[in-house]
Amino acid sequence: MTQVVENRKINYLDDIPNYYRGNKTMILWSVDSINNDEDSNINNEDFFTKSPLKYIKTPISFAVADTDFVLPYDLSHIKNAITKSESILKLKENWDEEGALPTDKKTFLNAIRFIIKYSSYLLESKEKTVLDYPDISILRDGAIAVNWETKNASFTIIFEKDDKDVSYYYAKEKNSFIPLRYGVNIKGDIDKTTAIWMSENLKYNQGNPFR
């Protein structure tokens, strides 16, 4: 798949950075192979059709809960899950006819920031892990649950409505009897233990028994 990036003119392959940051945007380039001899005469018009650049991917800008976010193109499935979940904010008190409480923007955004932070970090890591998309749901007291399920593992983290720094999660590999129950500081730096576990167990397209 090839896309024109904002009519940007690119003259030389050498000018193309592997990784470019502009104003609030990020462009990721994946280069399959570059054969300078073969492509040295390429002009701008031909660039996108003849270039050895197989994938030119625009970053995805989107807004949820009146807040702007940007995700790399490879995480568009995660963006879709996030925007789909925004309807949670519209639920009023007693939304389940059993006295359930609504959530609030702060709690919802804590969950969204966690997803974006870890999925972006893993994609930029040495392993370039593309994280699967999670199920984002509201709980009865207005807390937000984020749940990943793959064929081999399950990960559930709950963001309580009290805006605490620590959120608790449960991570379990299906062939292991020793699950991980852990508290992670959601407002601090990336927790490496959590990130490594996610990278190993929650890859996109691993197969999901619930879908």
Partner 1 sequence: MDVRKSEIQPGEPLPLTDSVYRHGVNTMVEKEDRYTPTIYFFDLSQTDKNTGYSLSVDWDKKTTPEESIIRIGCSYKTKPDFEFKNYKNRVIYALEIAFIDSLDWISKIEYSPTIHTKEILGHPNNKAHSLVFYDKAEYAQNRPALLTELRNHAKDKKIEFDMTKVEVFVEKCRKNKK
Applying CB under 8 A, which residues contact partner 1? 93-94, 96-101, 135, 137-141, 145, 147, 149, 154, 156-158, 160, 168-170, 172, 179, 181, 183, 209-211
Distance from C-alpha of 162 to C-alpha of 23, rounded to nearest angstrom: 34
Q: Which is nearer to partner 1, 58 or 156 (CB)?
A: 156
CB-wise, 32 or 97, nearer to partner 1? 97
β 144-149/60-64 pair status: unpaired
> For the CA atoms of the chain, what is the radius of gyration?
20
The values of phi and psi at residue 90, to 5°, are -85, -10
If residue 42 lies in a helix (H) or strand (E), which one and from where to where?
none
Q: What are phi and psi of 196, to 5 degrees?
A: -65, -45
Closer to partner 1 by Cβ: residue 8 or 174: 174
CB of 11 to partner 1, least distance (A): 44
Minimum CB–partner distance for residue 141 and partner 1 (Å): 6
- Decide whether 126 or 211 has the Cβ nearer to partner 1: 211
Closest separation in Å from C-beta 130 to partner 1:
18
Residues facing residue 147 across a β-bridge: 135, 156
Q: How far is the CB of 208 from partner 1 (least distance, A)?
A: 8
Question: 68: number of CA atoms within 13 Å, CB side?
Answer: 6
Q: Which residues of 87-120 are buried (b: 16+ CB within 10 A; e: fewer)?
A: ebbeeeeebeeeebbbbeeebbbbbbebbbebbb
Q: In this complex, which beta carbon is closest to partner 1, that of residue 85 or of residue 119?
A: 85
Shortest CB 80 distance to partner 1, Å? 10
Nearest distance, CB of residue 172 and partner 1, angstroms: 7
User: In the structure encoding, which two tokens stand for residue 163, read together?
Assistant: 């805006």
Closest CA to 204 of 86, 138, 119: 119
CA–CA distance, 110 with 64 (Å, rounded to integer): 12
Q: State which residue, 14 or 93, has the beta carbon closest to partner 1.
A: 93
